[in-house]
């Protein structure tokens, strides 16, 4: 892959994740705008992740016989149209429906990009390019929240979606400059072989771990705005968006993940180190200080994205066949955790309080650590 292709992929990835997470810092504003409860507002993230939890597998199957570039362009077109619809929406139910539809476009984009990288890169460079991709997802998650919060605060919440719509139109134009992947070698897809592949270690262990990791991550980031308003009723959308600055640490960690693996000696040790940091950071969110929560986010993101960048790169390095399926299942496991994490822990938060909420998330991460520990060291 050349610099031009990588640049386009980075831009599209940043936009995709900006679309996914842009509503989060403005959830308190949307509660007032549409006269809804906090649980209903949280659904704006959850409903988008529902299709993300199962459709990546379907798109993975498609990519065994369909070009990644074509699927990417079609999904971007759909995402662009729905983003314009959100800018114009006047009903919360229609808002939810459009977010749900976006949940089908986003996995097509992400699975296409991961597969495009995997089949279009030399084996020795896959980990490096995948690290750049993960860094782009982090940047998109941060900018989606930060810019959305800022635009909403100064110009109104609708304009954050208008800016994303214009940016998506530009991304559609840029995809015409991507090289076609139609001549890239694809393996013959056999369902039974693919199913056997994803059920065996270390694949299944890493799928379980990334499920647990993103469950915790998505839950924390989705309910944190409500915790912040508990601590300070005067906090605004821009200040909430600033809390996500910890994403910057995730970008640094992702870009240096090959060096982290080399330093620690193996992918398994790198993943376990990331999980340990992630687990350690969770109790820090019990502190009753917005400033301390701001710094806790840096540690939290460092742990999360160490796990994510190392796992995604390693899976694509060891997968010789059915790369679309391997990536599709990974994205599916990732966002299944996101769907459940952005909704169900909210009941614990509401019934038992913030500290019990944090304890539940810690238990989930411990489960992910046990899954990695069960992997034979020779396999990872």
User: Predicted confidence band at 193 (pLDDT cuts at 50, 70, 90)?
Assistant: low
pLDDT-derived band at 286 (thresholds 50, 70, 90) equals: very high
Query: What are the tens digits of pLDDT across the range 102-147?
Result: 989 998 898 888 878 877 666 667 777 878 888 898 889 888 888 9
> What's the token pair of residue 371?
């899954």
CA 146 to chain CA centroid, nearest Å: 16
Alpha helices in the chain (DSSP H): 3-21, 27-34, 38-62, 68-88, 92-120, 126-155, 157-175, 191-199, 203-231, 237-243, 247-255, 257-264, 267-281, 290-318, 323-341, 345-352, 354-373
Per-residue pLDDT reduced to its tens digit, 338-357? 889 988 898 999 899 999 99
The better pLDDT of the pair 115, 83 is held by: 83
According to DSSP, residue 235 is labeled -
Whether the per-residue pLDDT at 183 is higher than 70: the answer is no
DSSP letter (8 states) at residue 200: S
Tokens in use for 276? 């340990």
Q: Angle at Cα 103 formed by Cα 358 and Cα 363, nearest 5°?
A: 20
The residue that leads in pLDDT, 188 or 63, is 63
The predicted structure's pLDDT at residue 64: 65
**pLDDT of res. 114:** 81
Q: What is the dihedral of CA 76, 81, 84, 90, to 10 degrees?
A: -130
Amino acid 197: pLDDT = 67
The first and second tokens of residue 205, run together, are: 């262990």
Q: What is the share, in percent, of the chain residues with pLDDT greater than 90?
A: 44
Q: Which two tokens stand for residue 106?
A: 């986003």
| Separation CA 275–CA 367 (nearest Å) | 10
Q: Which residue has the higher pLDDT, 222 or 160?
A: 160
- Reported as a single tens digit per residue, the pLDDT across 296-324 is 999 999 999 999 989 988 887 777 766 66
pLDDT at 185 over 60: no
Mean pLDDT of the chain: 86
Q: Has residue 325 got a pLDDT over 90?
A: no
Q: What is the spatial distance between Cα 346 and Cα 43, in angstroms, rounded to a whole number?
A: 11
- How far apart CA 195 and CA 199 sit, in angstroms, is 6
Cα separation, 270 vs 273, in Å, equals 5
pTM, two decimals, is 0.76
d(CA 337, CA 42): 15
Confidence of residue 153 (pLDDT cuts 50, 70, 90): confident
- In angstroms, rounded to a whole number, what is the distance separating the alpha carbons of residues 247 and 157? 22
Q: How far apart are the first and last CA of the chain?
A: 27
pLDDT at 378 over 60: no
Selection from 277, 266, 366 nearest residue 310 by Cα? 266
Question: Over 70: is that where the pLDDT of 44 sits?
Answer: yes
């Amino acid at each position: 892959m050349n610099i031009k292709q990588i640049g386009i992929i980075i831009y599209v990835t940043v936009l995709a994740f900006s679309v996914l997470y842009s509503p989060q810092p403005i959830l308190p504003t949307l509660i007032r705008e549409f006269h809804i409860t906090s649980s209903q507002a949280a659904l704006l993230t959850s409903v988008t992740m529902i299709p993300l939890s199962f459709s990546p597998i379907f798109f993975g199957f498609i990519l065994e016989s369909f070009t990644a570039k074509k699927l990417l362009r079609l999904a971007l077109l759909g995402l662009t149209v729905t983003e314009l619809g959100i800018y114009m929406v006047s009903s919360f139910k229609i808002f939810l429906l459009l977010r749900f539809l976006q949940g089908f476009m986003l996995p097509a984009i992400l699975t296409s990009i991961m597969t495009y990288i995997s089949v279009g890169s030399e084996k020795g460079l896959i980990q490096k390019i995948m690290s750049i991709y993960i860094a782009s997802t982090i940047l998109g998650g941060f900018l989606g929240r930060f810019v959305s919060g800022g635009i909403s605060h100064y110009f109104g919440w609708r304009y954050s979606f208008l800016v994303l719509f214009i940016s998506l139109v530009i991304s559609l134009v840029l995809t015409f400059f991507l090289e076609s992947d139609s001549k890239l070698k694809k393996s013959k897809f056999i369902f039974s072989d693919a199913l056997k592949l994803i059920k065996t270690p270390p694949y299944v262990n890493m799928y379980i771990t990334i499920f647990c990791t993103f469950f915790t991550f998505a839950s924390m980031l989705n309910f944190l705005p409500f915790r912040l308003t508990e601590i300070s009723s005067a906090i605004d959308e821009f200040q909430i968006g600033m809390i996500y600055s910890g994403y910057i640490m995730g970008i640094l960690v992702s870009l240096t993940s090959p060096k982290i693996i080399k330093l620690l000696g193996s992918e398994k040790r790198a993943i376990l180190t990331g999980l340990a940091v992630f687990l350690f950071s969770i109790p820090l969110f019990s502190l009753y200080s917005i400033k301390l929560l701001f710094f806790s986010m840096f540690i939290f993101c460092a742990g999360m994205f160490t796990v994510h960048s190392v796992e995604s790169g390693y899976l694509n390095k060891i997968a010789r066949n059915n790369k679309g399926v391997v990536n599709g299942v990974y994205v599916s496991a990732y966002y299944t955790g996101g769907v459940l994490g952005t909704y169900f822990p909210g009941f614990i938060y509401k019934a038992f309080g913030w500290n019990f909420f944090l304890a539940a998330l810690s238990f989930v991460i411990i489960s992910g650590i046990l899954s990695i520990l069960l992997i034979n060291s020779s396999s990872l």
